[in-house]
Amino acid sequence: MVAEPGGRGLTALVAELVTDPEPLTDAWRDLGERAFVDTVAVLMAGRNEPSVTVLAGTLDADETSGPARSLATGRSSPIRDAALLDGTSAHALDFDDVDNALIGHPSAVLVPTILAVGGAADVRGEDLLVAYRCGLLTARVLARRLGVQGHYAAGWHSTSTIGTLAAAASAARLWGLTGVQVRHSLGIAASMAAGSRQNFGSMTKPLHVGLAAGHGVLAARLAGRGYTADPDQLEGPLGYLALFGHPDRPVDAAPAEPDDGRPAGLNVKLYPCCYATHAAIDAALDLADRLADDAEIERIEVAVPPGALDPVIHHRPLDGMQAKFSLEYAVAVALLDRRVGLASFTDERVGRADVQRLLRTVHLSAAPVPPVGEPRWEHFFAAAVTVRTATADLRARVDQPAGHAHRPVSEANLRAKFVDCLSGAGVHQGTGPVEDGYQALRTLRTRPSARAVLGILTGATADPTTPTHR
């Protein structure tokens, strides 16, 4: 058994985070509200992706309804199905936030879970934010104890393997489970956790997120109704850490966050693709502005820190989904188009000869020492890009891409992303879901009714010009 200070096991420690949370600080409220804004935006934008529509149609075949409401479909739904659908939709475009501590996407799991459970129970907005903090801290504690870099390198998709338990923690908080029940919910969720990185670049990657949310809901619901698991499951000799942990995992049990209540920030994505490509995209866009219009590129070199190539598994992408996990493609399309957006990852754009030709000139390397600038990397997903032409070598290095927690997006840019995402989903600026929806999410701490907030947002899906999932 892996004991924490004071003789508590990890399962008991996490349960205490859920049942006896610290009071929210304004910094935590701000982080949570921004996470809800960003996640709802990308969830709405992703709702017409095949990974969502096929799933919605499959669930529709059961002709079920329930007390929750899915933002992806706008329809009443069982709570677990709403979390499953909206979690999948939140990750369908790979445009959702990233947590360095997790090497994954916490909010795409947590926000759909919390909206499904909290909306059905019609809790206060402040309660949603408390549940978000409980889930995020659970994810961060587990990531640290697992040794998340080794866990990720072994092929696990940490967003889902860790997110399933984090979702269970958030749902347990909203349902008011006791400490013992929370421990059982974590034990149940530990047997549901899964997710293989081999499925990156396919419809199953966003399904990982939906399943994590749905399984978290089910685990907490079962525990609340008396279902049991090993109450020390996480640290047991055959438990979660033993199965998913890395031999080199750290053994420290430092507090999850600083004592002053300032949470570590999240990275907001400005490009709809794997976060491991973002620093290289920023560098390539910088170089594109410095390239002569008629320059003929002979070779492109991209260096990243060790381990940072693990997520980008598609070197010769054949469609838009694979291209989201291709560092070669991301750099090539940035240099050619001098912008990267949703249109960069259509099957048509990926198949064009210009980008297919240029991506073949891209050469990747994992370099312990950066070839450009200071002799150490500042961030795991940093990148240095060199473009060689017949007349010059141009170099750029980015350690923290725009939107990183240390380079946070402005309020104006966060709102612009929200507007753009909803516009892409067929919801136009000036309508209630955009104007009132943004304001409701950004002031979630003051809202007396989660159901009312969902009512504002789901007005979008009633738009008759919006495609349905039937």
pLDDT tens digit sequence for 201-237? 999 999 999 999 999 999 999 999 999 999 999 999 9
Whether 149 and 280 map to the same domain: the answer is: no
Say if 161 falls within a structural domain: yes
* pLDDT reported for residue 260: 60
Confidence label for 166 from pLDDT (cuts 50, 70 and 90): very high
* pLDDT reported for residue 92: 98
Q: Average pLDDT for residues 331-341, to the nearest whole number?
A: 97
Confidence label for 1 from pLDDT (cuts 50, 70 and 90): very low
Residue 168 has pLDDT above 70, yes or no: yes
Whether 198 and 102 map to the same domain: the answer is: yes
Q: Average pLDDT for residues 341-346, to the nearest whole number?
A: 95
Residue with more model confidence, 3 or 60: 60
| CA distances to 102, 169, 191, 311 from 199, in Å | 19, 26, 20, 11
Whether 318 and 228 map to the same domain: the answer is: no
Whether 99 and 150 map to the same domain: the answer is: yes
Q: Which of 363, 398, 433 is the last residue of a domain?
A: 398
Say if 417 falls within a structural domain: no
Whether 282 and 218 map to the same domain: the answer is: no
Residue 163 has pLDDT above 80, yes or no: yes
Q: Average pLDDT for residues 131-151, to the nearest whole number?
A: 95
Rg from Cα positions in the chain: 22
Token duo for residue 72: 């992806």
Bin 389: left if φ > 0, else alpha if -120 < ψ < 50, else beta.
beta
Q: Average pLDDT for residues 176-188, to the nearest whole number?
A: 98
Q: Average pLDDT for residues 128-157, to the nearest whole number?
A: 96
Q: Average pLDDT for residues 55-84, to the nearest whole number?
A: 89
- Residue 195 identity: G
* pLDDT reported for residue 184: 98
Confidence label for 6 from pLDDT (cuts 50, 70 and 90): very low
What are the beta bridge partners of residue 385?
302, 396
Whether 97 and 53 map to the same domain: the answer is: yes
Whether 347 and 233 map to the same domain: the answer is: no
**pTM to 2 decimals?**
0.92
How far, in Å, CA of 456 to CA of 437, rounded?
A: 6
* pLDDT reported for residue 464: 32
* pLDDT reported for residue 293: 78
* pLDDT reported for residue 429: 80
Whether 365 and 227 map to the same domain: the answer is: no
Say if 164 falls within a structural domain: yes
pLDDT in tens, 354-399: 999 999 999 999 999 999 999 999 988 999 999 999 989 999 999 9
Q: Average pLDDT for residues 254-270, to the nearest whole number?
A: 76
* pLDDT reported for residue 61: 72
Say if 33 falls within a structural domain: yes
Whether 12 and 113 map to the same domain: the answer is: yes
Instruction: Give me the phi and psi of 430, to 5 degrees please.
Output: 100, -15
Q: Average pLDDT for residues 173-192, to the nearest whole number?
A: 98
Q: Average pLDDT for residues 153-180, to the nearest whole number?
A: 98
What torsion, rounded to 10 degrees, do the Cα atoms 285, 286, 288, 291 define? -170
How far, in Å, CA of 374 to CA of 364, rounded?
A: 20
The rounded percent of the chain whose pLDDT value lies above 70 is: 92
Q: Average pLDDT for residues 99-114, to the nearest whole number?
A: 97
| CA distances to 40, 145, 268, 407, 444 from 410, in Å | 17, 33, 11, 9, 18
Q: Average pLDDT for residues 451-455, to the nearest whole number?
A: 95
Confidence label for 431 from pLDDT (cuts 50, 70 and 90): confident
Q: Average pLDDT for residues 182-189, to the nearest whole number?
A: 98
Whether 303 and 225 map to the same domain: the answer is: no
Token duo for residue 421: 């995402």
Say if 111 falls within a structural domain: yes
Say if 82 falls within a structural domain: yes
Residue 462 has pLDDT above 50, yes or no: no
Q: Which of 398, 425, 458 is the last residue of a domain?
A: 398
Residues 305/367, Cβ–Cβ less than 8 Å: yes
Number of domains in the chain: 2
State the residue range of the domain holding 391: 275-398
Q: Which of 398, 414, 449 is the last residue of a domain?
A: 398
| CA distances to 28, 233, 241, 249, 390 from 238, in Å | 35, 8, 8, 16, 59
* pLDDT reported for residue 443: 97
Domain containing residue 51: CATH number = 1.10.4100.10
Residue 304 has pLDDT above 80, yes or no: yes
* pLDDT reported for residue 252: 46
Which residues touch 468 (CB under 8 Å, ≥6 apart)? none
Residue 2 has pLDDT above 90, yes or no: no
Whether 207 and 352 map to the same domain: the answer is: no
Say if 448 falls within a structural domain: no
Whether 48 and 193 map to the same domain: the answer is: yes
Domain containing residue 372: CATH number = 3.30.1330.120
Residue 289 has pLDDT above 70, yes or no: yes
Q: Average pLDDT for residues 163-170, to the nearest whole number?
A: 98
Say if 423 falls within a structural domain: no
